[in-house]
A and B are shown apart, each in its own frame.
Chain A
Amino acid sequence: MDPGHFFASSRVLIVAGKGGVGKTVTAATIATAASRCGLSVLLVEVSGRSAAAPMFETEGQGYEEAVLVRAAEGHGEIRSRSLTPDQALIEWLSGHGFHRIVKRMTKSGLLEVVATATPGIKDLLVFGRIKALETARAADLIVVDAPAAGHALGFLRSPAAVREAARSGTIHRQAVEVMELIGDPSRCQVMLVTIPEETPINELIETSFAVEDEVGVKLGPVVVNSVLPRIEGLEQRLRWAKCSAAERTDLATAADFRRGRTALQDQQLQRLGSELPLPQIRLPQVFGTEIGPAELSHLADRMLAEIESLEDLS
Chain B
Amino acid sequence: MNGYAALIADRDVIVCCGTGGVGKTTTAAATAVAAARTGKRAVVVTIDPAKRLADALGIAELGNTPTEIEGPWPGKLAALMLDTKSTFDEVVRRHAHDDQQAERILSNRFYRNVSGTLSGTQDYMAVEKLSELYDSGDWDLVVVDTPPTRDALAFLEAPKLLARLLDNPIYRIVTAPSRGVFKVVNAAAQSVLRQLARVVGATVVDEAVAFFQAFEGMEDGFRERAGATLALLGDQRTAFVLVASPRADTLTEARYFLDRIRNAQLDAAAVVVNRMLPAVTTSPERAMELAESLAGTQAAGAAIALADLTASAAEDQNRIREVTEAAPHAVLVQVPLLVDDVHDLEGLGTIADLLTAG
User: CB within 8 Å of B: which residues of A?
Assistant: 18-21, 24, 47, 51, 93, 96-98, 101, 105, 108-110, 112-114, 116-121, 147-150, 154, 161, 165-172, 197-200, 202, 231-234, 236-238, 240-243, 246-247, 250-255, 257-258, 260-261, 264, 287-290
Which residues of chain A are near B314, meaning CB under 8 Å?
Answer: 288
Tell me if B153 counts as interface (CB < 8 A to partner A). Answer: no
With A113-B168, A166-B201, A238-B302 already in contact, the answer to whether A247 and B114 are too (CB < 8 A) is no
Chain B 289-329 interface mask (CB, 8 Å, partner A; 1/0): 01001100111111111101111111100000000000000
13 example contacts (A-B, Cβ-Cβ < 8 A) are as follows A105-B192, A108-B169, A116-B110, A117-B208, A118-B113, A118-B204, A167-B203, A171-B201, A241-B299, A251-B299, A253-B278, A254-B280, A254-B309
Known: A251-B290, A255-B302. 11 other contacts (CB 8 A): A20-B20, A20-B245, A110-B168, A114-B200, A117-B204, A166-B201, A233-B298, A243-B299, A287-B308, A287-B311, A289-B315
Mask: chain B, 1-44; 1 = CB below 8 Å from A; 0 = not? 00000000000000000011110000000000000000000000
> Which A residues lie within 8 Å of B204 (CB)?
117-118, 165-166, 169
- Any A CB within 8 A of the CB of B249: yes
In the complex, are the beta carbons of B202 and A116 less than 8 A apart? no
Q: Is B185 an interface residue (CB 8 A)?
A: no
The verdict on B220 contacting chain A, using a C-beta distance below 8 Å, is no
Does B94 interact with chain A (Cβ within 8 Å)? no
Asked if B350 CB lies within 8 Å of chain A CBs, one says no
Is B245 touching A150 in the complex (CB atoms < 8 A)? no
**Main SS class of interface, B:** helix
Q: How far is the CB of A248 from chain B (nearest CB, A)?
A: 8
Residues of B within 8 A of A257 (CB): 277-278, 305, 309
Bound together, the chains give a CA A169 to CA B302 distance in angstroms of 65
Which partner residue on chain A sits nearest B113 by CB separation?
A119
Answer whether A168 and B202 are a contact pair too, CB < 8 Å, given A116-B118, A287-B311.
yes
Question: Shortest CB–CB separation between residue B168 and chain A, in angstroms?
Answer: 5
A117, B290: Cβ atoms closer than 8 Å = no
* B329 → A minimal CB distance (Å): 27
Is residue B198 within 8 Å, beta carbon to beta carbon, of the partner chain?
yes
Q: Tell me whether B205 is interfacial, beta carbon within 8 Å.
A: yes
Name the contact of B200 in the complex, choosing from A19, A117, A150, A154 (C-beta under 8 A).
Answer: A117
Chain B residues contacting A258 (CB-CB under 8 Å) are 305, 308-309
CB distance from B231 to the nearest CB of A (A): 24
Is the pair A250, B201 in contact by a Cβ cutoff of 8 Å?
Answer: no
- Give the residues from 262 to 293 in chain B that come closer than 8 angstroms, CB to CB, to chain A: 277-278, 280-282, 284, 286-287, 290, 293
* Chain A residue, CB-CB nearest to B53: A199
In the complex the two chains form, is A254's CB within 8 Å of B306's CB?
A: yes
- For B110, B301, B315, which residue has the most chain A Cβ atoms within 10 angstroms? B301
B247 proximal to A (CB < 8 A): yes
**CB-based contact A241/B282 at 8 Å:** no
When C-beta atoms are compared, the residue in chain B nearest to A233 turns out to be B301
B298:A169 contact, CB within 8 angstroms: no
**Looking at the complex, which one of B21, B117, B196, B280 makes contact with A21 (CB distance below 8 Å)?**
B21
State whether B165 touches A116 (Cβ < 8 A): yes
Asked if residues A171 and B200 are in contact (CB atoms below 8 Å), the reply is yes
Interfacial chain B residues near A199, Cβ < 8 Å: 21, 50, 341
Counting CB contacts under 8 A, is B199 at the interface? Answer: yes
Q: Which residues of A contact B100 (CB under 8 A)?
A: none
Bound CA span A120–B199, Å: 15
| Interface hits, B135-185 → A, CB 8 Å | 147-150, 164-165, 167-170
**Given A150-B148, A200-B21, A287 and B312 touching (CB < 8 A)?**
yes
A97 and B197 CA atoms in complex are apart in Å by 12
Q: Say yes or no for B68: interface residue by CB 8 A criterion.
A: no
The 10 closest A-B pairs by CB, nearest first: A288-B311, A20-B21, A233-B301, A241-B299, A254-B306, A255-B302, A169-B201, A258-B305, A119-B117, A166-B201
Known contacts being A110-B170, A119-B117, A119-B118, is A150 close to B20, with CB within 8 Å?
yes
- Interface residue? B195 (CB, 8 A): yes
Bound-complex Cα distance A289 to B245 (A): 16
B302 A118 Cβ-Cβ under 8 A? no
- Inter-chain CA distance A154–B119, complex, in Å, is 11
Q: How far is the CB of A246 from chain B (nearest CB, A)?
A: 6
Taken together as a complex, chains A and B put the C-alpha atoms of A108 and B306 apart, in Å, by: 58
Select one of B118, B167, B301 contacting A255, CB under 8 A: B301
On chain B, the residues within 8 Å of A154 by CB distance are 117
A170 touches B199 (CB 8 A): yes
Q: Which residue of A lies closest to B280 (CB)?
A: A250
Assembly CA distance A241 to B300 (angstroms):
9
Contacts of A251 in B (CB 8 A): 290, 299, 302-303, 305-306
Chain B residue nearest to A96 in the complex (CB): B199
Which B residues touch A120, using CB under 8 A? Answer: 117
What is the distance, in angstroms, from B193's C-beta to the closest C-beta of chain A? Answer: 9
A45 CB, min distance to chain B CBs, angstroms: 12
CB distance from B260 to the nearest CB of A (A): 14
Are B164 and A233 interface neighbours, CB within 8 A? no
Residues in B with CB closer than 8 Å to A236 are 298-302
Chain B residues whose CB sits within 8 angstroms of the CB of A147 once the complex forms: 150
Chain B residues within an 8 Å CB radius of A165: 113, 201, 204
Give chain A nearest CB distance to B344 CB in angstroms.
Answer: 13
Write the nearest CB–CB distance from B345 to chain A, whole angstroms.
18
* Contact present for A242 and B293 (CB under 8 Å): yes
Q: Which residues of A contact B313 (CB under 8 A)?
A: 288
- On chain A, the residues within 8 Å of B287 by CB distance are 250
B103 to chain A, nearest CB (A): 20
Given A251-B290, A254-B309, A264-B340, is A234 in contact with B301 using a C-beta cutoff of 8 Å? yes
Q: How far is the CB of B192 from chain A (nearest CB, A)?
A: 7
Closest partner residue, chain B, to A172 (CB atom): B201
Q: Nearest CB to that of A24 among chain B residues?
A: B249
Nearest chain A CB to B94's CB is how many angstroms away? 21
